[in-house]
């Protein structure tokens, strides 16, 4: 390890974790931009969420993937048939929790609620199903890159 890193009190693990996170998030960013995803920044954000979590990356990836899929689908369905207001939004969050529980993916509820919120509350120029599918692809891309990095550099700790 370099003397400057040792003098700063940086461990080898911290250096490796920082480097792998930087490489993976830049890869997510470039992939999402190359696919011309409209809100490409969700890919590197998702990579960061998975790589820097204190829980098992595979567990978190599954939660984020399932929650994003559910929240995107439910958000698009609601936005297609109802105009957005606080009652519709609150009901959507409630239904989201019930559906997650029913499907036995309660741990994915927070990600489903976040995605539903983005689909319902953020002003978009495109149809709800297009917005929802973009969100799903952007997040899934970030998850995939994070998992590839976890498998590429086994044995390093998250966050």
DSSP 156: P
- Residue 6 belongs to a domain: no
Residue 3 lies in a domain: no
- How far lies 45's CA from each of 28, 40, 82, 138, in Å? 9, 9, 29, 9
Domain-embedded: residue 139: yes
Residue 9 CB-density burial (10 A; 0-12 exposed, 13-18 middle, 19+ buried): exposed
Q: Which residues of the chain have pLDDT under 70?
A: 1-2, 5, 154-159
The verdict on residue 74 lying in a domain is yes
- Domain with 41, as residue range(s), is 13-152
Q: Is residue 98 part of a domain?
A: yes
pLDDT at 157: 55
Contacts of 103 (CB under 8 A, 6+ apart): 70
**Cα–Cα separations (whole angstroms), residue 112 to 117, 142, 157:** 8, 16, 26
Judge whether 50 lies within some domain: yes
Q: How many domains does the chain have?
A: 1
Question: What pLDDT is attached to residue 142?
Answer: 96
The 10s digit of each residue's pLDDT in 55-97 is 898 999 999 999 999 999 999 999 999 998 999 999 999 999 9
Cα separations (Å) of 71 from 106, 111, 114, 117, 153? 12, 7, 7, 8, 31
Confidence (pLDDT) at 154: 64
């Amino acid at each position: 390890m370099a003397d400057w890193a040792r003098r700063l009190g940086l461990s080898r693990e911290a250096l490796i974790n920082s480097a792998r996170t930087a490489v993976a998030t830049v890869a997510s960013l470039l992939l999402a931009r190359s696919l011309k995803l409209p809100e490409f920044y969700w890919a590197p954000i998702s990579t960061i969420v998975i790589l820097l979590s204190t829980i098992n990356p595979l567990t978190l990836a599954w939660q984020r993937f399932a929650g994003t899929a559910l929240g995107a689908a439910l958000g698009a369905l609601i936005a297609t048939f109802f105009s957005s207001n606080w009652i519709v939004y609150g009901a959507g969050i409630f239904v989201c929790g019930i559906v997650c529980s029913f499907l036995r993916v309660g741990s994915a509820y927070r990600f489903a609620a976040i995605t539903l919120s983005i689909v319902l509350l953020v002003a978009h120029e495109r149809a709800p199903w297009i917005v929802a599918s973009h969100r799903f692809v952007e997040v899934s891309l970030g998850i995939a890159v994070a998992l590839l990095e976890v498998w590429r550099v086994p044995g390093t700790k998250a966050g």
